[in-house]
Amino acid sequence: MKKVNKLILPTTITALMTAASLIPMQAYGAKAEVSISGQISRAVTFADNGVDTDQLFVDNNNSGTRLRLKGKTDLGNGNTAGVYWETQYQDNSSSSIDINDNDNSSAFTSRIREVWFKGGWGKLYLGQGNGAANGTSETDFSGTTIADYSGNNLDDGISFIGNATSVKNGSAFSNFDGLSRNDRLRYDLPMFGPLGIAVSTGQERSEIALRYSSKFGNGGKIGFALGQVTDDAKEFDQLGISAAILFAGGFNIAVHVGDKDNDNGRDPSGTYIKVGKKTGKHNVSLSFHTVDDNAADGDEAERTNISYVYNMAKMGVEIFGTYQLATLDRSGEDFEDMSYFAFGSRIKF
């Protein structure tokens, strides 16, 4: 089965490119546009969980390997309609692979399957795609998000090792973001200057988001986002807030706070702070992330990251390196500290 999966990706790319070349630019009297794009995102991680060390070759789940197809057509009177299809193919996803598990999996993941309509009245989405609040915990102008951001997935699969149990990093940490990609009906209101408002509803779940972005001075930028989630099926409410500022000289700051109110009584919360510097094609940052009560009551998880990203070309070629030290404290358990160094590259096409 694994050999079949590795043959599917190039076959799919060839089929999509052939199909796109056959689509006429004029369909039913309307101007139609079709584009294919994607990215390859790989890294090698040298990890240490306090008991064992390992070298892991991973697909960087901070922004994984993807292929997408977009199409849109002019409906007239200032209205447009379109489609968005995106799939992800990962071999050894960094969000699941652990030390001593270097042949984890190869799989396609459905990310986006949606139709949309846009006009002066706003934008309406139907199908599987980003919920209204997705990304509201991730406002960040550092240029290092491929290596580190509030929802860092480069170490989610690596476990903290304790006396009697182990805990995945992905279970100990959270950035309390929106519901990511799900089947929903989403509506983005027309922009009120620099302020955007979006709402979405799915099966027993809803999201609302506020976003603000504005430029100032010579290259300065400021951004803010708030996302609120209600999930009746899983019985929780969640709030995530993030803000970032980029000064003209390249110095930048990003802050995130969030919390989750579970009906089961466990209410985790967290804070993420990052400072960075952008100089031409060079981007460096230092971040600190702390989350309480996420995997169990009384848990205190902390991680510190230092990252560097070099942008080689305008087409989207990035090379990065990052180091992290993470700790997990729990009453009655003694978890070893976890650390890793990773370097890799993302190339967009």
pLDDT given for residue 25 in this prediction: 39
Instruction: Of 299, 310, 304, 265, give the one whose Cα is nearest residue 287.
Output: 304
DSSP code at position 189? P
Q: Please return the burial class of 162, using the count of CB atoms within 10 Å of its CB with bins 0-12, 13-18 and 19+.
A: middle
Candidates 85, 59, 58, 57; CA nearest to 72 is 85
At CA 39, angle to CA 36 and CA 40, rounded to 5?
Answer: 140
> Structure tokens of 136?
């509201």
Binned average pLDDT, 10 residues per bin, the chain of 349 residues: 36 40 44 91 97 95 96 95 96 91 77 97 97 97 97 94 95 94 96 97 96 94 98 94 97 97 90 97 98 96 98 88 98 96 96
Domain boundary assignment for the chain: 2-348
Residue 29: predicted pLDDT: 52
Instruction: Return the H-helix or E-strand segment holding 5.
Output: helix 2-22
Distance CA 338, CA 160 (A): 6
Topology adopted by domain 2-348: Porin (2.40.160)
With CA atoms as reference, report the closest residue to 303 among 160, 100, 165: 160
| 299 vs 162: CA distance, rounded Å | 13
Place of tokens 């096409």: 349
CB contact at 8 A, 141 and 268 = no
pLDDT of 109 reads 87
DSSP 69-99: EEEEEEEETTEEEEEEEEEEEEESBTTT--T
Which residues are 109's β-sheet partners?
88
What Å distances lie between residue 326 and 168, 175, 346, CA to CA?
Answer: 12, 15, 24
pLDDT value at position 235? 93
* Residue 30 confidence (pLDDT): 56
Cα pseudo-dihedral 150, 153, 154, 160, rounded to 10 = 100
Rg (CA), the chain: 21
Is-contact 137 176, C-beta < 8 A? yes
What is the pLDDT at residue 144?
Answer: 98
Residue 2's pLDDT is what?
Answer: 34
